[in-house]
Structure 1
Amino acid sequence: MDPISATFEDEEYAPVGVPAGTFGSLNLQTCKPCPASNPSRRVKGSKYPLVLFSPGLGNSRLLYSAMAQQLSSTGYIVVTIDHTYDAGIVTFPDNTTTLAANITTDTQIVEDLNIRVKDVSFVLDQLIRSSVISTLIPGRTCGIDTSKVGIYGHSFGGATAAEAMLFDPRLIGGINLDGTFFGSVIDRGLNKPFMIMAHEGKNLTTDATWAALWPKLKGFRRGFMLGGSTHGTFTDLGEAADLIGLRERFPREVAAFLGSIEGERALRVIGAYTSRFFDFVLKGKKSELLDRSSMEFPEVTVGEH
């Protein structure tokens, strides 16, 4: 994280035992970009399909970087979105910041959802511009193919994914990671591929919006439940807690907030199912993992969730 965002998140999570300086001390290991001066190594054309990610209400996209990396490592360009005035803090390249508005009522949440949907389309519009791409992906000399795009999100980001798919035809498949649905998609449904992954105990009987939307998903649909997980499991925070020793110091509290499943394992499982889904939607590759229980991932239950 940039220093300003890291300090902000340190203060946000200080009440649960996160020491000052924690978020600034964590680094995401990445491959070095290909030098733009070496034409033979430039990323060409549309080799990798595009997937967008939308975070939970109030969350920074930076709390999902490791999760996004899990998917990108399987052959995707993953672009995470900060929804300004929704995320707790957005720090811009010139170090100016914007804090979240007070979004609490149902009316405000639906208004926010509509703005998020416009954010998604705006980002897609920008990603065809070579000037934008050369800044985001050094060495790439052309825009990204935005004609067939995947989208996924956590919590309110999952609701954003479903709603955005209604209004932008470029979005052809989506995933909701443990989010309650909002907006017109609940009544209108979707005829595009869609996947839901829930924390342990969440299903069609515990979330009325899931029960309402599930029969209206007319395209390819799949539902999974991740054992040992909570709502917070579907972020990078589980792995961060393990790395700084928070799970060892406060095992009961961390398990209640982030699940009993270890953070690295959770990211690996979530990454596997998201990548196999998008492999099918964007690459045409079928996977048995989406159709039945797996010995490789015994934590996951397959069914109508």
Structure 2
Amino acid sequence: MTRTRRTAAAAALLLALPLSVVAAVPALAAPAPAASATVQASVQIELPRPTGPFAVGRQILHLIDQQRTDPWVPSAGPRQLMVSMYYPAKAGTGGPAPYMTPEAARLMLDLKVPGNTIPTETVVDTRTWSRTDATPEHGRFPLVVLSPGFTMPRTELTALAEDLTSHGYVVALVDHTYENAGTTFPDGHTTTCVMCGKFRTPEDWAGLDASRAKDVSFVLDQLTGPGRPAWRYAHLIDRSRIGMAGHSVGGAATVPTMLTDDRVRAGVNLDGTMDFAVPATGLKGKPLLMIGHPLDGPEDPSWTDAWNNLDGWKRWLTVAGSDHSTFTDVPVLTEPLGLPHPPTTTISPERGVQLTREYVTAFFDLQLKGRPQPILDGPTPQNPEITFQP
């Protein structure tokens, strides 16, 4: 089998795995229910505090694309998406922002943890640093769209979304309906992962990437297009400065998005196999940052092929001791619960979040704000885990 970052995920944290992969790695079974229940019930999980000067506001949007039938469940009618909007806010305003809904949390745990006995509220009550309906700061800010990995809810990138916002970005964190464990809509119903286990070939995955690009472009239409925007604080967005980042499939989707939507000026792929290939003609000169974990075999050919074809600013970083989940909230959630991780994963959850935030923010500060970022020029003593490749 060709080594890819998707197949490498078979060694990643249990919570980050697609259902089909979980079944194939019984050695990563969850702790015995009797031993883990007491610990889990007393756990209070907290995301790392954002590092920027701005407080973080959050609002939830329900968007309906009347021009596009849902690609996975046509009988559902128009494509519907839930989006978390993060924005620089005035400190001390707004109310607590829950991590995720109870039903979405239960579905995620049931999908990812065989014999799940983890109390749902343990995940629901994860401490975030966002404030619901907080008063926005004055000004206009670059927009970054975030797309999560396949089977994972949008909340897996909350720590990254909050940190970007604290550094002066508006962030749109998108749930891709029927592609994750569960998405809860305003009427209370929660969709499930209809597409889990259905993508078999590189062509299937490329189609998924392309579908996500359409989701992202629709979100941008709703936020920045002509007419009345779907979000009440859309005036905060600087429409000339838009980027995209994502994890796994969400990172791979930056390629078709940048190829098809000229509004997206820069992209970040966090450990995603690029089945939608970068064409020989490149990405229209657009910059791409690729951050991944070390593979235990030959390098993912989709990354080497992409690297050779990129025609703009580019960096390829490898994080020593990381795994597929390092670039998300997942390790922060699972470590306090006592869930296992691969023995090759030596980086702490907090350090993984720190490095991901630091390099992603530096990239967008350079590409969307024009601020020089020496950290992107080569290895630094303060971050010995980072290798610049090739």
TM-score, normalization by structure 1: 0.85
CA distance in 2, matches of 1:211, 1:202: 16
Could you tell me which residue of structure 2 aligns to residue 39 of structure 1?
Answer: none
CA distance in 1, matches of 2:279, 2:158: 29
Alignment map for 1:97-246 (pairs within 5 Å): 97-102=190-195, 103-106=198-201, 107-128=203-224, 132-134=230-232, 140=233, 142=235, 144-190=237-283, 191-201=285-295, 205-242=298-335, 244-246=336-338
Residue 56 of structure 1 deviates from its aligned partner by 1.1
CA distance in 1, matches of 2:303, 2:190: 35
DSSP 3-state at the match of 2:291:
strand
Residue 208 of structure 1 deviates from its aligned partner by 0.8
What is the letter of the counterpart of residue 142 of structure 2? P
Residue 169 of structure 1 deviates from its aligned partner by 0.2
- Larger strand percent: 2
What is the letter of the counterpart of residue 25 of structure 1? D
What is the letter of the counterpart of residue 382 of structure 2? E
CA distance in 2, matches of 1:269, 1:292: 14
- Larger helix percent: 1
Question: What whole-Å deviation, never above 9, does each CA across 1:240-264 have from its counterpart, x for those lacking one?
Answer: 123x242xxx5xx32449x321111
Give the paired residue count: 284
CA distance in 2, matches of 1:176, 1:18: 33
Q: Which has the higher contact order (CA 8 A, sep 6+)?
A: 2
DSSP 3-state at the match of 1:79:
strand
Could you tell me which residue of structure 2 aligns to residue 12 of structure 1?
Answer: 111
CA distance in 2, matches of 1:120, 1:131: 15
CA distance in 2, matches of 1:130, 1:221: 36
DSSP 3-state at the match of 1:302:
strand
Question: What whole-Å deviation, never above 9, does each CA across 1:119-140 have from its counterpart, x for those lacking one?
Answer: 0100001113655222xxxxx3
CA distance in 1, matches of 2:377, 2:244: 21
DSSP 3-state at the match of 1:146:
strand
DSSP 3-state at the match of 2:219:
helix
CA distance in 2, matches of 1:221, 1:202: 24
DSSP 3-state at the match of 1:175:
strand
What is the letter of the counterpart of residue 109 of structure 2? D
DSSP 3-state at the match of 1:49:
strand
DSSP 3-state at the match of 2:172:
strand
Q: Any conservation in 1 of the 2:252–2:273 contact (CA below 8 Å)?
A: yes
Cα root mean square deviation, aligned? 2.3
Moved more, 172-181 or 65-74: 65-74
DSSP 3-state at the match of 1:145:
strand
CA shift in 2, pair 1:131/1:149, >3 Å: closer
What is the letter of the counterpart of residue 124 of structure 1? L
Q: Any conservation in 2 of the 1:186–1:212 contact (CA below 8 Å)?
A: no
Residue 17 of structure 1 deviates from its aligned partner by 6.8
Provide structure 1 residue ranges, at least 5 long, that are not aligned to the other structure: 36-41, 135-139
Q: Is residue 2:341 matched to residue 1:254? A: yes
CA distance in 1, matches of 2:117, 2:363: 34
Q: Any conservation in 1 of the 2:277–2:302 contact (CA below 8 Å)?
A: no
DSSP 3-state at the match of 2:235:
coil
